């Protein structure tokens, strides 16, 4: 649901981000590009705005910005909740679910068995298949297909592996409480053989969930490919609560070997800032990527929320938006390999009108300067600075009176800062009013930020996407000023461009 759904009584409904009409939403599931459409499935309670009755909701898009809602795809029943998972296009009909020449889409999901069922308390992996392009689904009669008799074995991400060891399906899933990613292989999606285990490693301050494993070229070189393993954890993020981390290494068809592990086993709390994070903000969780994206692009989306306070959010009947879709690349930065993320989409497509505000190079003196003509509630802000004498400088969005969310740079600390302590409605949970930080480095003597400001969120892409921070905010409807600030001296604004979406 996009901008058209917003009303004066629902002022936090996002314009640029996907949200449900009036129900619960969490982890993205089953992401796939198929027959010209991106399919977004997600954890959904079709019957309310609480974390219950978990099923797979469904929306599609041709541009990753405008989304069309569809009926619930895979529904819970008296025996199981439908937890997270993935979808593959079984082109060769290895599963045998195809019919009359139609190759199936196959969903691999976690069955969370309910009290009173034969597998009460167990989480195991199950299948469903679709012969109409992902709109209606049939559960496999012989589910589950992979059962470890575990209460926390979940979130399968499946992909087709083609390599020296053959051609087969690979599943990555988690033993959540053990901080482990487990790998399995299958020829037919029904019968699975154990391959290997990765972890514990790096961040283990909370349970591991929603893994993903995929190859990417370094610096665009197809002859230099590494594998990226992502895994989300809750709690234990760099600024508290839910977050996602990643490892870069090699995969030989059986074992993932990390080249970026900082700590083996349980984490060292003093080294949290050394780990590689998908996002340093409070509200980017359960991130996974789309299968079969055009041109081999690696596109990722996440649930924009935090388990610390999700049940107390001051929204109406709906719970949580998704993040913007991001394209991931691997780049060499400072002699090390890092994920770089860039937002994807033509956001004018969801806007009734678009306007622009520009400010040329100028000196920003100490203090706060409101920019006349720059106010708005749905904006893209591109801004570049050359640091001067200031201890901190930046921009305030969704400002008004004492309200505002501050996004700033502290050069001496090498820190990007998002301060939402005065961002608006913050007292619904003690953990929400936060000041969060991420490491940032100068690039050619400048700091560059791209901000996406929506009705209930700010997504920050710093230094061309080298660092990202995603934060929910709940300001008053009238808090729409944009200001520049500088503390302890002046700084040089190189350029500022604001795109207003209405």
Q: Return the structure tokens found at 19.
A: 């949200």
Tell which phi-psi region holds residue 95, choosing left (phi > 0), alpha (psi between -120 and 50) or beta: alpha
Beta-strand pair 123-130/403-410: unpaired
Query: What Å distances lie between residue 227 and 33, 132, 247, 339, 466, CA to CA?
Result: 21, 32, 8, 11, 18
List all residues 6 or more positions away from 39 whose beta carbon is below 8 Å from its beta carbon.
30, 31, 32, 33, 58, 59, 60, 87, 134
Contacts of 477 (CB under 8 A, 6+ apart): 8, 11, 377
Q: Is 250 a catalytic residue?
A: no
Q: By C-alpha distance, which of 128, 117, 175, 185 is closest to 150?
A: 175
Q: What six digits make up the tokens of 123?
A: 């989480």
CA neighbours closer than 13 Å in the CB half-sphere of residue 359: 22
Largest CA distance in the chain: 72
For 199: left if phi > 0, alpha if psi spans -120 to 50, otherwise beta; the answer is left
As given in the structure block, the two tokens for residue 120 are 């009460």
| Contact (CB, 8 A) for 77 and 101 | no
From the CA atom positions of the chain, what is the Rg in Å? Answer: 22
Q: Does residue 347 sit in helix, strand or coil?
A: helix
DSSP letter at 296 equals G
Contact status, residue 248 vs residue 226, Cβ threshold 8 Å: yes
- DSSP code string of 280-301: -SSS-EEEEE-BT-GGG--EEE
CA separation for the pair 451, 468 (Å, rounded)? 10
Looking at 27, 81, 212, 436, which residue is catalytic?
A: 27
List active site positions: 27
């Amino acid at each position: 649901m996009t901008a058209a759904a917003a009303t004066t009584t629902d002022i936090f409904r996002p314009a640029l981000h996907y949200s449900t009409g009036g129900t619960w939403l969490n982890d993205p599931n089953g992401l796939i590009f198929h027959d010209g459409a991106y399919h977004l499935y997600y954890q959904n309670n079709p019957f309310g705005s609480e974390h219950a009755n978990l099923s797979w909701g469904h929306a599609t898009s041709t541009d990753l910005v405008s989304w069309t809602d569809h009926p619930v795809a895979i529904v819970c029943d008296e025996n199981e909740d439908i937890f997270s998972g993935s979808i593959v296009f079984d082109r060769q009909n290895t599963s045998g679910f195809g019919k009359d020449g139609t190759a199936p889409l196959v969903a691999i999901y976690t069955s969370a068995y309910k009290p009173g069922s034969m597998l009460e308390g167990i989480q195991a992996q199950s299948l469903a298949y679709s012969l109409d392009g992902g709109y209606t689904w049939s559960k496999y009669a012989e589910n589950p297909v992979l059962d470890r008799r575990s209460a926390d074995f979940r979130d399968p991400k499946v992909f087709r592996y083609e390599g020296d060891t053959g051609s087969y399906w690979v599943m990555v899933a988690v033993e959540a409480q053990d901080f482990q990613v487990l790998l399995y292989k299958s020829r037919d999606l029904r019968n699975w053989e154990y391959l290997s285990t990765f972890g514990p490693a790096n961040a283990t301050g909370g349970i591991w969930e929603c893994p993903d494993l995929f190859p990417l070229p370094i610096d665009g070189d197809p002859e230099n490919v590494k594998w990226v393993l992502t895994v989300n954890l809750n709690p234990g993020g760099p600024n508290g609560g839910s977050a996602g981390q990643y490892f870069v290494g090699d995969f030989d068809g059986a074992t993932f070997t990390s080249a970026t592990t900082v700590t083996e086993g349980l984490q060292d709390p003093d080294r949290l800032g050394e780990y590689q994070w998908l996002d340093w903000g409070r509200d980017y969780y359960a991130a996974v990527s789309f299968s079969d994206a055009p041109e081999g692009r690696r596109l990722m989306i996440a649930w924009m929320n935090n388990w610390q306070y999700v049940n107390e959010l001051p929204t109406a009947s709906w719970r949580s938006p998704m993040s913007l879709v991001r394209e991931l690349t691997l780049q060499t930065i400072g002699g090390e390999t890092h994920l770089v993320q860039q937002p994807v989409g033509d956001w004018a497509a969801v806007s009734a009108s678009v306007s622009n505000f520009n400010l040329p190079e100028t000196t920003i003196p100490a203090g706060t300067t409101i920019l006349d003509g720059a106010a708005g509630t749905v904006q893209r802000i591109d801004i570049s600075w050359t640091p001067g004498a200031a201890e901190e400088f930046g921009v305030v969005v969704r400002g008004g009176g004492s309200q505002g969310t501050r996004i700033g740079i502290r050069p001496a600390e090498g820190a990007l800062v998002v301060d939402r302590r005065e961002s608006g409605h913050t007292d619904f949970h003690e953990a929400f009013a936060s000041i969060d930080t991420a490491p940032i480095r100068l690039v050619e003597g400048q700091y560059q930020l791209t901000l996406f400001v929506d009705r209930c969120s700010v997504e920050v892409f710093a230094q061309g996407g080298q660092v990202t921070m995603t934060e929910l905010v709940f300001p008053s409807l009238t808090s729409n000023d944009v200001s520049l600030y500088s503390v302890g001296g002046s700084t040089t604004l190189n350029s500022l461009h604001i795109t207003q979406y209405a």
